[in-house]
Structure formats: structure tokens, C-alpha cells
Amino acid sequence: MLRIGLTGNIGSGKSLICQVFEKLGTPIFYADFKAKKILDSPILRPKLLAAFGTDIEDKNKNIINRKKLAAIVFTNKEALKKLNSLIHPQLQIEFKNWCLQHKKEKYVIQEAAILFENGFTDLFDKTIVVASPQNIRLQRVMERDGASEAAVLARMENQWSDSKKEAAADFIIYNDGQELILPQVLKLHQLFSSSHLDLK
């Protein structure tokens, strides 16, 4: 079974691409969604409170307040680095266990926003970057999240540049409004489903 890492900067359209792969029957591990769920795990929650203070806790519900935590980490690179160092080891354990449940598949995909930044590429046989121009991504995120331009740009600064990610990836899917998505996904699906893929 091949393990494929799929990433792309904020607003690039990772979720859309994953939906197409899912329609083709590919199991997808949504790392960012899983990360949000494990914030309140008995293992992680005390570490988060120790690292970022008890103000991030929603005391009525006894859970981590995502908005308060986001306000800290998206404006402070060191805080974001700390958060990732706490979350991602646990996340990758979950991914490995999830892979065991899908070991009969030809390939599986992990979707993650900061795949390269976290240095976990050794978990994957191949990587895909979803590429889209920054001006398009900026507009998409502002409309999707109702966020200001400054807020979105601040989040973008915490990610590798498009060119750096594209250079690091094995494959690129262009979601720029010019290239059709489906033929690009189908080509990769056929490649990953083949037993002739050269992993060297």
C-alpha cells in the first residue's frame, strides 16, 4: 500500500481535490480535522494548558477554545511551532493505526496543510501539492471564513511559499481556474493504483 501525502497552502483547494479522490474510492486521512479532535484528548489537553495558559480553556465545557488558541498561534510563529510539536507526534500515531485498517488498499492519502513544514515527509511514498496563485487563494479564504485580508495574510506567512512546496513535491495538481482538475486527479489515481510505480 502506498502512503501519499497531499498538501497545499491555505485556500489552494485541498478539500476539493480530496473529495475527487474520495469519489474514486480512495481513503483519506484528514490530518487537520483529526488534529482539532485530539486537542481535547486526556493526553494532549494538559500539555496545551501548560504551554499556552489556562485562558485557552472553555471552562464551562471543559474543552480547548479553538478561537483563543488560534489567536495565539496564528500571530506567533514560535507558538505555532510549539503547538505543532505537541499535536503532530500523536497525530502520526493515529495515522499509522488508520493505515493498518486500510492495508488492503492500493494507496491512501493523508491531507495536511503543513506537511512539509512539520518534517513528516518520510512517512509517505510520494507527495502531492495543490497549487493555486496567492491572489486567488486570498480571495477564496476571505470569502469562506469572513476574514480580513490582513488576518489571512498572517496565516499565509506561517506556511512555506508556493514555489518552495512545489519544488519539494513529487506531483503538482493545479487548481488555478485554467487547468481542469479531474484529468489531473485521474492521472494520479491510475498511477497510484498501478503496481508499476517507481518509488525510488
Structural domains in the chain plus CATH codes: 1-27+106-200 (3.40.50.300), 35-101 (3.40.50.300)
Confidence band of 197 (pLDDT split at 50, 70, 90): low
Q: Are 86 and 44 in contact (CB under 8 A)?
A: yes
Average pLDDT over residues 156-181: 91
Q: pTM value? A: 0.86
123 φ, ψ to 5°? -75, -15
Summarised one tens digit per residue, pLDDT across range 122-132 is 899 999 999 99
* pLDDT for 170: 96
Q: For residue 17, which of 86, 107, 118, 112 has the smallest C-alpha distance?
A: 112
Lowest mean pLDDT among 42-46, 93-97, 127-131: 42-46
pLDDT > 80? residue 59: no
* pLDDT for 130: 97
Distances (CA, A) of 188 to 12, 21, 120, 183: 18, 9, 21, 9
* pLDDT for 200: 45
Confidence band of 199 (pLDDT split at 50, 70, 90): low
Strands (DSSP E) contained in the chain are 2-7, 28-30, 57-58, 63-64, 107-111, 126-131, 171-174
DSSP 3-state of 75: coil
